Amino acid sequence: DFIQIFVRKLRGEDQEEELTIDYVKVNNMTVKMPYQCFINGRFEDAEDGKTYSTINPTDGSVSLPVPPFTLNASVADFYRKPVKTLPAPSLRLADLMEEHQEELATIESIDSGAVYTLALKTHVGMSIQTFRYFAGWCDKIQGKTIPINQARPNRNLTFTKKEPLGVCAIVIPWNYPLMMLAWKSAACLAAGNTLVLKPAQVTPLTALKFAELSVKAGIPKGVINILPGSGGMVGQRLSDHPDIRKLGFTGSTPVGKQIMKSCALSNLKKVSLELGGKSPLIIFSDCDMDKAVRMGMSSVFFNKGENCIAAGRLFVEESIHDDVRKLGLSRRSWVFQQDNDPKHTAKKPQEWLREKRWTILKWPSMSFFMLPTVFTDVEDHMFIAKEESFGPVMVVSKFRNGDVDGVLQRANDTEYGLASGVFTRDINKAMYVSEQLEAGTVFVNTYNKTDVASPFGGFKQSGFGKDLGEDALSEYLKTKAVTVEY
Ligand code: NAP
Ligand code: MG
């Protein structure tokens, strides 16, 4: 059964095998788009022949019938033992992703509704950088030599080794399908683990294209496995699995809690959780106003607001509040729909978002996109000031001139702690605020400046464990202490 598939060892050495992949036409362009489950180096249909449709959110059309993972044990083999780390294939994988970047960006746009140019630059671009960065770590994972108390007349020496965990599961959301895959998989592979990844049910296609490229890059069979399907089914089974030693998750806080519980009850597997946020951005009157407005916009609307570190709450110092607003409204590149109607603020915009992922506004026709929306004069107790929107919703409130501690208190008054930002020209204020903000990331005079080398992850109910940077490796390694007496 399902559980057994992970414990089977690879049959013999990897032999070159032809990959069978179907071709699909998109806008008169032929895109090679795998759509089946990828297990042990092969694309497979679901055993019961079932499929589900993945749709293109731009027009609601069906892109492909994807088989959810239902294969049974007899058809799949997995590596159980971790493999040696693979710097060369990892680099080759990054190169291949770059060679195929337009294709990957096209697939990402079709599947997730990402704007093509952003898909190319961010979704795909940062994924390539992430694989390059972690390929560099493959041969630099090492322990320490530690002086310990001597056991006279003998002496002792302790050294530590960093070892892979084994089979790791990765479960990710739909907002940056390929990039979330890259952030977790690259670190997981660099640490020498094998992985089983469940993409979001609605956005499986770049993960499957990635699987194809991983074969071409020479990643051995069974090291990377992609299982499309629902969280309740495939995701839950991964959390419950007795032979998986780690689950890396990015998604919502409630699902993160459920996963942590299942991981604990099954086999106490290690977990890292990158969860939701309602990140504060504080704009002081002594800031570079033009920059603050420009970045304030993108802090909210970048990637259509489907951004875990999106600034969910903007606090603007009273004396510049109206100027910031004017400046914001004058920017033609953003379409605003002002809404101060208390009826609407009471109505939970998130509910519109959650019902159908996006509110359908017939713009462009038949699309699922919601127009950028701004709420001003928001008070902290309102629903929109508390709950993550995960859409293009800006929430602006004022704070009293000079009231640094007051605004900090409001900024920290949340159970989330993913990211935060501050705009000021006063270095002392910037340092003080960055010290006081309870968030895993603080941006000063910038926003959304994530980088592959900088650790990323939240505090409080935004989860724990870091993606990216050196810190991410330790999420996928265990430390062994060896003590020798001589
Ligand atoms: P979600 O509902 O939590 O889903 C995330 C993933 O978990 C999906 O693949 C989902 O499967 C799966 N899942 C659902 N139930 C599960 C279960 N019982 N066991 C195992 N897996 C399960 O999140 P979402 O709404 O798709 O994504 C938006 C959320 O992600 C937001 O809260 C956002 O802040 C967060 N996010 C955080 C970060 C970060 O780095 N902190 C980055 C991006 C997004 P399905 O395919 O069936 O949905
Ligand atoms: Mg889709």
Of 198, 255, 275, 388, the one to substitute when testing ligand 1's pocket (max ligand atoms within 8 A of C-beta) is 255
* C-alpha pair distances (Å), 370 with each of 58, 295, 322: 11, 20, 25
- Whether the CB-CB separation of 212 and 34 falls below 8 Å is answered with yes
- Centre of ligand 2 from the C-alpha of residue 349, in Å: 23
Please name the residue that has the structure tokens 């106003």.
Answer: 289
At 361, is the pLDDT very low, low, confident or very high (cuts 50, 70, 90)?
A: very low
Q: Is the pLDDT of residue 485 over 90?
A: yes
- What's the rounded Cα separation, in Å, for the pair 307 and 301? 8
Q: Which residue has the higher pLDDT, 36 or 480?
A: 480
The reply to whether 438 sits in an annotated binding site is no
ipTM of the complex: 0.95
Give the per-residue pLDDT at 113.
87
Nearest CA to ligand 1 atom 15: 231
Best residue for ligand 1 mutational test, from 126, 234, 308, 309 (most atoms within 8 Å of Cβ): 308
Share of the chain above pLDDT 70, in %: 80
Do you find a cis peptide bond into 204, omega within 30 degrees of 0? no
- Cβ(274) – ligand 1 distance below 6 Å: yes
Is the CB of 263 within 6 Å of ligand 1?
Answer: no
In order of 91, 116, 180, 367, 369, the CA distances from 59 in angstroms are 36, 15, 24, 5, 10
Least Cα distance to 63 among 50, 52, 76 occurs for: 52
d(CA 412, CA 315): 12
Mean pLDDT of the chain: 84
Cα dihedral: 464, 468, 471, 472 (round 10): 70
Read off the pLDDT of each residue in 455-472 and give the average, rounded to a whole number. Answer: 98
The reply to whether 263 belongs to the active site is no
Residue 2 has pLDDT above 50, yes or no: no
How would DSSP label each residue in 135-171?
Answer: HTTGGG----EE-----TTS-EEEEEEEEE-SEEEEE
> How confident is residue 23, by pLDDT bands cut at 50, 70 and 90?
low
Kindly report which listed range (74-88, 130-144, 209-223, 354-368) carries the lowest average pLDDT score: 354-368
Residue 43: pLDDT band with limits 50, 70, 90:
confident
Q: What share of the chain is helix, strand, coil (3-state, %, to 5)?
A: 35, 20, 40
pLDDT at 69: 64
Q: Is the dihedral of CA 464, 465, 467, 469 positive or negative?
A: positive
Angle at 74 between CA 72 and CA 75, to 5 degrees: 80
Task: Provide mean pLDDT across the span 224-238.
Answer: 92
Q: 175 CB less than 6 Å from ligand 1?
A: yes
Task: Confirm or deny that 390 is annotated as ligand binding.
Answer: yes
Instruction: Tokens 């920017």: give the residue.
Output: 331
Over residues 326-336, the pLDDT tens digits come to 776 665 434 33
Give the position of tokens 């038949």.
366
Confidence category of residue 222, pLDDT binned at 50, 70, 90: confident
Nearest CA to ligand 1 atom 13: 231
| Residue at 213: amino acid letter | L
pLDDT per residue over 53-105, tens digit each? 888 877 777 766 676 665 443 223 444 444 565 677 889 999 999 999 999 99
- Catalytic pick from 103, 108, 212, 274? 274
pLDDT at 70: 57
Question: Given 287, 308, 438, 475, which residue is catalytic?
Answer: 308
Q: Tell me which residue has its CA closest to atom 22 in ligand 1.
A: 231
The answer to the question of whether 199 is labelled as a binding residue is yes
Q: Which ligand has the minimum distance to the alpha carbon of residue 114?
A: 2
Q: Is the CB of 439 under 6 A from ligand 1?
A: no
- What's CA 287's distance to the chain center, in Å? 31
Could you tell me which residues are beta bridge partners of residue 164? 477
pLDDT in tens, 155-172: 999 999 999 998 999 999
308 included as an active-site residue: yes
d(Cα 401, Cα 285) in Å, to the nearest integer?
Answer: 8
272-318 pLDDT per residue, tens: 999 999 999 999 999 999 999 999 989 999 998 999 999 999 999 99
Residue 348 reports pLDDT greater than 60: no
At 19 the pLDDT is 64
Residues, CB-to-ion distance under 5 Å, ligand 2: 54, 111, 202
Question: Which residues is 441 bridged to in the sheet?
Answer: 419
179 and 127 Cβ atoms separated by less than 8 Å: yes
Closest CA to 375 of 292, 316, 303: 316
Please check the confidence at residue 207 and state whether its pLDDT lies above 90: yes
Residue 72 — φ and ψ, nearest 5°? -100, 175
Helices 101-112, 125-135: inter-axial angle, 10-degree rounding: 120
Contact 458, 464 (CB under 8 A): yes
Residue nearest to atom 12 of ligand 1 (CA): 231
